[in-house]
Amino acid sequence: MSAAKHEVVFHIELTGSQGLPRPEKTFVRLSGLGLPPAFDSVALDESPNPGHWPFRDPGEIVAAAKASAAHAAAWAADPKSKKGGAPPAEPEFPFSPANPLLRLSRPWGSTEERQHLLDLVCSPLRIELLRSGSTPALILASGSVELSGLIHDTGSIRAEVELHWSQELLHEMESIWHTEQAAPWEERRAAAESAGESFDEILPPFSTPPSGRLSVGVSTAGPIGRALCPEDLNDWAILSVKIEGC
């Protein structure tokens, strides 16, 4: 007799960011919870504090990739492809409208599926913020949010994730600083020296901007441990300790 089919539905939302060094056109890339590789949001217009990135349905993305592979395989088997003919245009996949509230369902009917789902939730959801329009897309920052609290503690996690700027962005910013501040300062210093004049202007050093912040929400109908591993609930206890001074 096969195990009954059940699922856990996660809702993921990235509601806003703060601290970008300058306005950017951005999209986000998520990894974790069994998402497809390089799972990207739709890009947003330029903003100093972007948020509410819309996502396409993960199941539709997988289906679209399979349809694209089938289209390529069919063309490879077509005799016309051997004669150097141009492949026919690939049909456009009928995606549903993108939504800033990402709905992600995961099955847990079998013992293996339960363990796999628990393993996924024990790993963080990783988030990368990327610049839209650059080739390849430049990673601006990255961060992560821990999900293990969804097992026994809560059905909703709201976190202010620290964004760590990428080395590529910092190198770019330092290059801009050199062009806009250091090089002109050096020209003024050389001109003053050539004219025999004193030069007291101080060049502010390049400084790394403070980390940014990303507001993230991940929720389920309730702590998933109640369904996936109810036997563990009896192992949890709360110990309160009170220390009084002499």
Q: How confident is the model at residue 79 (pLDDT cuts 50, 70, 90)?
A: confident
Chain-wide mean pLDDT for the chain? 89
Query: Which architecture characterizes domain 7-55+98-166+212-229 according to CATH?
Result: Sandwich (2.60)
For 161-199, the DSSP string reads EEEEEPHHHHHHHHHHHIIIIIHHHHHHHHHHHHTT---
Q: Exposure string (b/e) for 185-203, b if CB count within 10 Å is 16 or more?
A: beeeeeeeeeeeeeeeeee
Q: Give the distance, in angstroms, between the CA of residue 168 and the centroid of all CA atoms in the same chain.
A: 17
86-105 pLDDT, tens per residue?
778 888 889 899 999 999 99
pLDDT at 193 > cutoff 90? yes
